[in-house]
Amino acid sequence: MFSIKKNKWNGSANYWENRYKKGGNSGAGSYNRLADFKAEIVNGLIEDANISTVIEWGCGDGNQLSLMKYPQYIGYDVSKTAIELCKKKYTNDNTKQFYWTGDKIFSPSMADMVVSLDVIFHLVEDDVFEDYMKKIFESCKKMLVIYSSNIDDNYVEGNHCRNRKFTDWIQSHKQYSENWELYKYIKNKYPFDGIDGENTSISDFYIYVKKEEYM
């Protein structure tokens, strides 16, 4: 007789650190046509809204970043390995900075635009999700760009994905729902298809603007 031990779930931050340490990447959504689609939308917003500074919460391996036209950029991530990968990749680009959120002296900045691309549905712990949502709003001056699923599902412990209806969270927090408004919703150009999961996505764009900036 023998038993199969289940992998112990160590949390989303550890999942991503281990993934990058083992040579993994940020996932299909940061490559090929899905990456091109995200870049098309975000670059258009930067130009239209005259954005000068951008913060990304969850920069990953930096592949998506290579397609973006950010004037000045700061990338944050929970994976120290991912941050080191980005620093190495963009070592000669002085418009980009990268910081590990696990650093004891970590202190977030503020920017005209904050982007969250394929991150929210990876925040499986409730406290991590709450903290992340607060950070993306509090670090944003003008425009918040969220690219994510927006449904609730039955989360299975140990899975690194957990869909959340994050718009309900925003509505339930007056400091954000009263001061921010949904400026634009853009459906995915390549909606999810189970037969072609690598080239399709469950995420859509939700662009929020600060009311005092756009009234």
pLDDT tens digit sequence for 102-113: 998 888 899 999
> Which tokens is 64 given?
């998506």
Q: What is the pLDDT of residues 122-147, one digit of tens each?
A: 999 999 999 999 999 999 999 999 99
How much is the average pLDDT of 42-71?
97
- CA gyration radius for the chain? 17
Could you tell me the CA-to-CA distances from 103 to 22, 79, 87, 169 in Å, in that order? 21, 11, 15, 28
The hierarchical CATH code for the domain 12-214 is 3.40.50.150
pLDDT band for 85, please (50, 70, 90 cuts). Answer: very high
Residue 175 CB burial class (10 angstroms; 0-12, 13-18, ≥19): exposed
| Average pLDDT score, the chain | 92
| Domains of the chain by residue range | 12-214
Amino acid type, 213: E
pLDDT score recorded for residue 29: 81
How much is the average pLDDT of 6-29?
84
Q: 201: which DSSP letter?
A: B
In this prediction the pTM is 0.93
